Amino acid sequence: MDNLLKNRLLEFIAFKKINNSDFEKICGLSNGFVYNCSPKTRMLSLNRISAKFPELNIDWLRTGEGEMLNKNVQYLIADSEFHHSPVQQGINNINNDFVAGLLETINKKDEQINKKDEQIKKRDEQIDRLLSMLELT
């Protein structure tokens, strides 16, 4: 039986002008994934592909229905061109800003936790002193 999913995947990889090994690395898939994929390929693997290549219509990949490319996703044919495009640079800036914001929030929360730890330590010391005083009486 012909493996149509594999054929469609190979068609997309050829369209992207990359080799199978690079495709597998980009998607975080195992070596040989492309040649071993089948209609029973897990959705997790397809989701990894979709995350790295949002222009690929995953329904087309799975079923052959519809167009190979999603109409609502902007992309450039060569992946290296995409990474240097103004669109990708804007996405990178947004991602960097988002990560920086998360790190700032984490650092603030960390400081708050450290302050609370200090307060707890001081209260514990006070409790220990009070207990010592009570034992003396």
pLDDT at residue number 10 = 94
- Going 16 to 17 to 20 to 24, the CA torsion angle's sign is negative
Is it the case that residue 56 has pLDDT exceeding 80?
A: yes
Given 78, 110, 126, the domain boundary residue is 78
Examine the domain organization and report whether 19 and 66 are in the same domain. Answer: yes
CB atoms near residue 89 (< 10 Å) = 11
Given 78, 97, 128, the domain boundary residue is 78
CB atoms near residue 111 (< 10 Å) = 10
Least-confidence region, from 14-18, 47-51, 78-82, 89-93: 78-82
DSSP 20: H
Helix (H) or strand (E) holding 19: none
Least-confidence region, from 17-26, 27-36, 64-73: 64-73
pLDDT at residue number 73 = 60
What's the CATH number where 45 sits?
1.10.260
pLDDT at residue number 88 = 54
Examine the domain organization and report whether 9 and 73 are in the same domain. Answer: yes
- As for how many domains the chain has, the answer is 2
Residue-number span of the structural domain to which 100 is assigned: 85-137
Cα 90 from Cα 113, distance rounded (Å): 34
Q: Give 25's pLDDT tier (boundaries 50, 70, 90).
A: very high
